Amino acid sequence: GDSVTQTEGQVALSEEDFLTIHCNYSASGYPALFWYVQYPGEGPQFLFRASRDKEKGSSRGFEATYNKETTSFHLQKASVQESDSAVYYCALGYSNTDKVVFGTGTRLQVSP
Amino acid sequence: GPKVLQIPSHQIIDMGQMVTLNCDPVSNHLYFYWYKQILGQQMEFLVNFYNGKVMEKSKLFKDQFSVERPDGSYFTLKIQPTALEDSAVYFCASSLGRGGNTLYFGEGSRLIVV
């Protein structure tokens, strides 16, 4: 079945560091890819999505590029802030099915 | 952005009792989801619902669980009877279309079974 793999369970950075959170997927078709962010005590929030190969999604300084060849959608940010501390989820979904598959999440901790 | 409201925000309940978690989805959304998150762990899919029917459910969606949305009101998750392992935060989500669409989540309902 389809799956999403986030290799880093936790990432610890200092403010202004460069962030990469890896996301790889395994899909039988051509899914849309998403990043969601969950702040402490809240529900996940949509960050951005990409629907086709080489499309870049971005929001709030975060970005990721859909790469069909490497089946990846890695999240990056050039300069993180303490307020970016949260759990980040990569996900995939298809327009012709109801299921959305989430990765296991990556907890980002940014120190001042 | 669009808001999903969940009621209650938290509830403590004795094991074996029934609990109903309520979700008021985004007004024009058609697809509804429940996810379960045990403290500090990943979010896990329970069930999705469309047009009055369960479309897909996971192994976590035990026989004691049921969902419904009577007459376009709240989308509810009922657990009867509850067990200790049901203690978790339950997130409701809704979307306008199928899986390629954005999910909008509520703030969660924290359930503690004692």
Query: pLDDT by residue for chain B (114 residues), tens digit each?
Result: 788 999 999 999 999 999 999 999 999 999 999 999 998 788 899 999 999 999 999 999 999 999 999 887 899 999 999 999 999 999 999 999 887 789 999 999 999 999
Residues A4, A75: Cα–Cα separation, whole Å? 13
Distance (Å) from the C-alpha of residue B83 to the closest C-alpha of chain A?
23
* A99 lies within 8 A of chain B by CB: yes
Q: pLDDT digit of tens for each residue in chain A (112 aa)?
A: 789 999 999 999 999 999 999 999 999 889 999 999 999 888 999 999 999 999 999 999 999 999 999 999 999 999 999 999 999 999 999 877 777 889 999 999 999 9
A98–B48 CB contact, under 8 Å: yes
Residue B98 contacts A, CB cutoff 8 Å: yes
CA distance A88 to A97: 24
CA distance B75 to chain A (A): 17
Q: What per-residue string of b and e applies to B73-100 under the rule 16 or more CB within 10 Å gives b?
A: ebbbbebeebeeebbbbbbbbbbeebbb
